[in-house]
Structure formats: C-alpha cells, structure tokens
Structure 1
Amino acid sequence: MTSGNGAGEARDDPYFYFRHLAVSLFPNDVRLGLNLGLFRTFAIPQIAKTLASTGKMAQFPRARAKATGAMMYTLIRDGLDGPSGSDTIRALNRLHNGLSAQDHHFTYVLSAFCVTPMEWMQRNGVRGPSGNEKDSSYAFYADLARRMHMKNVPESYEALASWMTDYESHNFSTSPEGAELYMATRGLLSARLPSFLRVFGPRFTDALLDPSLRKALGVEDPGIATRLTLRTILEVRRRKHLRLSS
C-alpha cells in the first residue's frame, strides 16, 4: 500500500491522512513526536522497569531506537496487512509476549505513540493536525492494537487522548529505571535538532519535555533562557512555513 494524495485513496484507506502526514508532509515532526512518546513511557515506573529489564534500551539505545522506528515506519508506509506489515506485527507480538506488562501498560504505550505526535504538532509544529489526520492516526493504532490482541482501547482519538491524560495524572512517577532510560536515549533526540543547535542538544532536549514529564524523569528545568530560545526557534520555523505556503 503506497502513499498518495487523491480523494479516492483517502476514501478507501483509513490510514491515508496519517500516512501522508508521517511520510510526506511533516515526517520530522512525526518522528520527533514518536521520540517524545517513547520518553513518556519511561515516566510510568512499571513500563520503565520492564524496558530496562531487557538491557537493550539502555546499553544499545541507538540500535534499539532505530529498530523500533524501522518497525513503525514499515507499518505506516506499507500498511498492516501486506507481507511486510504482517511480518512486523508477528515480530511485535513475539516481543510483547515476552514482557511482564499488563493490558493498561500496552494501552498507554499505544496512546503515547498515537497522541504525542499530534499534540507536538498542535503546540509546536508549523501547523496543527486536522481532524482527519487525528482520526486517521487513531484508526491506524486501533487496528494495530486489534492485531496485537490488545483489549479495552478507547473508541476514538478524543477518548484515547483523554484516557492518556488521566492515566498520566495517576501513574507518572520517578524511578531509577525511567531516569536511566531517559539519559541513555536523550542524545537520540538531540541528533534531530538543526545542526547549529546540536552543541546545545541535551539542554534543548530537556526543554522539549513538559514540566510533569521532566519531574517524573528526574530532569532539571533547563532554564528560562533555553526554553525561550527553543520557543523562538519554533515560532520562526512556523512563520517561515506560513510565508512559503501562502
């Protein structure tokens, strides 16, 4: 299944708008949002403990993140039911079957990957996601959840986003594993920053986290100067995009 932009394909493919967003329109924003979604899972102590128990995320963060990203983008680009998608889902099921996690942990990971990129774009992207893009993202992740035998997934994008907010309010907490995982993977997000900002990478990465996430991961406030600089850069980028697209 390939991406396109025709109205017919959008009618026939429930993932069309999300795929077009992630592959063609704003791939860097979606990838950055997925990274931030991964960081959010570290703030749930049981999930962090499960991830840390394998040793792979902390010891080989770049290889692990690259493998996870490759899996997700195989599913986004090629669909869930083709040969590549089916093979990838089987691999994900094998991986998840070996983890000591409960259904709500898997639902939270799903919500983090579905909702966080959309919220990043809404708050910091060159434009916010449309309703069609949010619904298409939800359709993709909800269908993935069914193929991974996940239960009790909220029934719409809005319901999933609301569930995620409530879950975080009750479950975000510090843990040694969460802090370790964040420090091991922090540099991966820094590498996505523009080249002239990479020297400040770790501080700018910390500034991308909201206060509740920084607190749960034991991350110090990067300071108002860093946060304002980042905000200015994002605003300049947004205005440049608006000027070029007008």
Structure 2
Amino acid sequence: MKRFDWRDEIHRLDAEADCVRIVQILTSHEFPWDMGRALGIALYRTYAVPSIGELLGRTDEFTGKTQKRYDDTALILGNMMRYGFEPGKGRDALRRMNQMHRSYDISNDDYRYVLSTFVVMPVRWLNDYGYGWRRLSDHEISGITNYYRKLGKYMGIKDIPETYEEFRDLLDTYEKENFAYTEGGRAVSDATLDLMVTFYPPRVSGLARKFSMAILDDSLIRTFRYDPPGRGWRKGADIALKLRAKVVRRMKPREEPLWADLNPNIRSYPDGYDIDKMGTFPATCPVRHNVDPVAHEELYGAEGDHPREAASSGADAEASEAAKADDRA
C-alpha cells in the first residue's frame, strides 16, 4: 500500500453520501492521533462557555469521575464513527448520547456551538496549525462537515450550518461573545488537565502539563485564568508537533484501523463495556428511555429508540391492566 492510497480512496467517494466512510478513514487510518488531539481540544473548548462549564461542574462527572467520563465520551463517539448510524452499535451509541443530553436543559445554541467545535478543530489542527502530515483537501473538509451535519440532525439540533465556513464563523462568533470565567468551568478544566498528565510516565508529568498548556490558545488561557505559557514553551510545542508531522509523512500508511477501543488511555472497562450502561443516568431524568428523545422515526423506526424496552413496557402494561380487570371481577 502506498502513502496516499487512502487519500485517493477518499476522493473516489461522495462527500455527502459517503461522509461516514470518509470520516472513518480519516479517523482510523490517516490521522488517528491527530484526530484524537483535535477532538479532545474541541471538547475542552466548550468548558469555557459558562452554561456548559457550569453544567459539567455541577454534575461532578468531569471532576469526580474524570477518567470514566473521558472513556465514555471517547467510546460513544468512537462507536458512532466506527459503525455509522445504522442499526447496531453505532445507533446504540447515538441513542445513549441523546438520552444523556436530553436529561439536561441544554440550549440549541450550545448544541450548535459544540457541534461546530467538532467540525472546525480537526481542520485547524491539521491545516491551519500545520500539525498534519498532509493537509486536508476541500473534499475531505466537506466530508467531515456533512458527517457532523448528519450527527447534528440525529441529535435534534435546529438551524445547523450548511458549510464549513458557516461552522467556522459560528465557532469564532460564539466564543467571542460567550467565553467567560466560571468556577465550574475552571474546575472541569483543571480535572481534565490532571487526567491528561496521567497518560505519560510520572517522570515527565511536569513537562507533559506544560506542553499541554502550551498548545492551548490565548483565549482559553485567559478565560480559565491560567498563567500564560512562556514563549519558549509555545515555540517548542509548535516545533515538536510540526517535526512529528514530517516524521509521520515518511511512515508507511496504516492498513489496520485504529479505533477508540484500542486506546490504552481508556481504562474504565478492562473486561469490556455495554453502551446502554455507559454515561450518566440522572435521578431526575425527564426522558422516557424507550422512545427517541428527538423523534427521528426515519432513524429509529416507529417503535422508538429502544424497541426491546418498548416491547417490555407494553407487555408490563398489558399485564397490569389484566390484573386490574381480574381484581374488579
């Protein structure tokens, strides 16, 4: 296999109809490490929005259970990328994510912003910052955009941007208007950075933290009220990532896909996991878990988002009515 064979395969695909396959190739073959870093920064950015940072801080999921929350997020998003949105593990992951999100009062504007981070940050990391071993083409950027537009539709998000440029403008405008310090956002940021450090040997943990801070842009540093990283660290991190890109460019293409399940930093499920049992289950959850929380019959079918539970609930209801009839008799 030649170095640019995956790129050539992507360009034989349709950017809209085959957007899932395009994202699969980019994420698991062409840029698995880079996509992981870019999407991690995408999620991290959202903590700087007060309505998001404070919500995450209140739930204690990102501060008290940081490793599990990291694992659950990576596996849920990873299963959707790996299996798509058709019946099976990908749709199970989508259902679980929708159930969690609809358990909280999250505005459509915040949903749109979070979606924009997933579209924009991989492009910025690989193209704008120059950390990719090659640049993404316009065709590939369209594939990424269409994938997240589809995901946004299945999440029930309204007024989804249509182009990459619209997503980029949404992200920049939303951050300019909304980034602000909150205690909850800072606590979630601290917990996340503390977790990232554990991914490296203890002897270099201090350097790893400084490196992590050095790749955060100034708007995040200011919002979370961190001491700005030194100019030397900024320059050193930038050079190191660009040198890595040059090395990767000369490596053989990855023929076997690298999925989230194989990430050694995911540690919560050494014996395997069940998507339906992952994530949060708030005690006051308003969502009926046997129905699609965003009413997409085209995705889930008329029986709802979890037909087995729906059937079970129906059977229980029939049994209850029969018992009441017997009592009246």
TM-score clears 0.5: yes
What stretches of structure 1 move > 6 A for 4+ residues in a row? 193-196
What SS class does the counterpart of residue 57 from structure 1 fall into?
coil
Larger CA Rg, structure 1 vs 2: 2
- Equivalent position of 1:217 in the other structure: 224
CA distance in 1 between partners of 2:125 and 2:184 (Å): 25
1:130-179 deviation line (CA, Å, top 9, x unaligned):
21221111111111111111101111112111111111111111111111
CA distance in 2 between partners of 1:159 and 1:239 (Å): 31
Letter of the structure 2 residue corresponding to residue 149 of structure 1: G
| 5+ residue gaps, structure 1 | none
CA distance in 2 between partners of 1:196 and 1:157 (Å): 41
User: Which of 84, 92, 98 pairs up with 2:97?
Assistant: 92
CA distance in 1 between partners of 2:35 and 2:105 (Å): 29
User: Which of 84, 106, 115 pairs up with 2:111?
Assistant: 106
- Equivalent position of 2:31 in the other structure: 26
- Equivalent position of 1:126 in the other structure: 133
- Name the one with the larger helix percent: 1
| 5+ residue gaps, structure 2 | 253-329
Give the TM-score of the pair, scaled to structure 2: 0.68
**8 Å contact kept, 1:18–1:134:** no
* Count of residues in correspondence between the two structures: 242
1:197-218 deviation line (CA, Å, top 9, x unaligned):
6440111111111001111122
- Equivalent position of 2:273 in the other structure: none
Cα distance, 1:244 vs structure 2: 5.0
CA distance in 1 between partners of 2:62 and 2:34 (Å): 23
CA distance in 2 between partners of 1:239 and 1:130 (Å): 18
**8 Å contact kept, 1:207–1:230:** yes
Give the TM-score of the pair, scaled to structure 1: 0.90
**8 Å contact kept, 1:35–1:189:** no
More off after superposition, 196-205 vs 42-51: 196-205
**8 Å contact kept, 2:10–2:22:** no
- Equivalent position of 1:10 in the other structure: 13
CA distance in 1 between partners of 2:70 and 2:141 (Å): 24
CA distance in 1 between partners of 2:183 and 2:202 (Å): 31
Alignment of 1:16-95 (within 5 A): 16-95=21-100
Cα distance, 1:222 vs structure 2: 1.6
Cα distance, 1:21 vs structure 2: 0.9
Cα distance, 1:230 vs structure 2: 0.9
More off after superposition, 80-89 vs 58-67: 80-89
Letter of the structure 2 residue corresponding to residue 22 of structure 1: T
The alignment status of 1:230 with 2:237, answered yes or no, reads: yes
- Equivalent position of 2:122 in the other structure: 117
User: Which of 164, 181, 196 pairs up with 2:171?
Assistant: 164
- Percent identical among aligned pairs is 26
CA distance in 2 between partners of 1:47 and 1:7 (Å): 35
